[in-house]
Amino acid sequence: MQKIMVLGILLIVGSTQVLQAQTKYKILETKDIDMKLSGTSTLHNWTMETQTFTGEAQFGFKSGNIQLNSIKSLSFNLNVTDLKSGEKGLDKNAYKALKTDQYKDIVYKLSSAKVMSEKNGKYLIKTQGNLSIAGVTKDVAMDVYAVVNKDGSITCTGSDKLLMTDYQVKPPKFMLGAMKTGDAITLNYTIVYKKDLL
């Protein structure tokens, strides 16, 4: 009888751990999230920004679901035309250069991650993943900084430098070629993932 009870407890604990391991997080729609593409031109620097994007992740914890120790998956999906600079001409040329008539989204999918503990509840995550822009996918390495918030949500921030030509994107020109954008761009992001209770 005792063996049966012990076995039952082990099965319950084991199934609970499996459920926790499969818990998904989704990007929380809040004013705290942000995605920016920034670059230079012969006239001035430029930035295109949005707070509209989607994604999900699976995080692993230890020490009573407090300490983050792994990431099983992570993704985000951004509709390019949601990026706005405040200048219609710049936006129009950027959308054309990014081939939004064929490829509407910028997509990132994590392939591997190593979580490192940092001070004050912050974590440095060394990631490797696939970033798709204008129909071209590249393997990219990014340092992501994560914080587990009091409400259980997880804020991820980071920055990555890219070359448009690596994604077969021709840097846009404006005003009959008088204004030319530089090849290098920077992707900055703040993403908040919240546990999906559905």
- What tokens were used for 12? 């319950």
Residue positions counted in the chain: 198
3-state helix, strand, coil in the chain (%, to 5): 20, 55, 25
Task: Specify if 1 maps to a domain.
Answer: no
Instruction: Report which secondary-structure segment, H or E, holds 70.
Output: strand 67-79
Residue 67 lies in a domain: yes
Residue 8: the pLDDT is 41
Question: The whole model's pTM is what?
Answer: 0.81
The total number of structural domains that make up the chain = 1
Instruction: List C-alpha distances in Å: 5 to 15, 29, 181.
Output: 15, 45, 69
pLDDT confidence bin for 11, thresholds 50/70/90? very low
Residue 9 forms part of a structural domain: no
In a domain, 187, yes or no: yes
Q: Rounded mean pLDDT of the chain?
A: 84
Alpha carbon distance, N-terminus to C-terminus of the chain: 37
Within 8 A by CB and 6+ apart from 13, the residues are none
Whole-angstrom Cα distance, residue 74 to residue 193? 10
**Does any domain span residue 116?**
yes
Domain that holds residue 76: 25-195
In the structure, what pLDDT confidence band is assigned to residue 30 with cuts at 50, 70 and 90? confident
Confirm if 74 and 142 have CB atoms less than 8 A apart: no
**For tokens 């049966």, what's the residue?**
4
CATH number of the domain residue 167 falls in: 2.40.128.110
* Contact (Cβ atoms closer than 8 angstroms) between residue 140 and residue 150: no
Is 77 a member of any domain?
A: yes
Res 17 pLDDT > 60? no
| Residue 7 pLDDT greater than 60, yes or no | no
Rounded Cα distance, 183 and 150, in Å: 40
In a domain, 12, yes or no: no
Element of type H or E holding 134: none
Question: Model confidence over 142-162: pLDDT tens digits?
Answer: 999 999 988 889 999 999 999
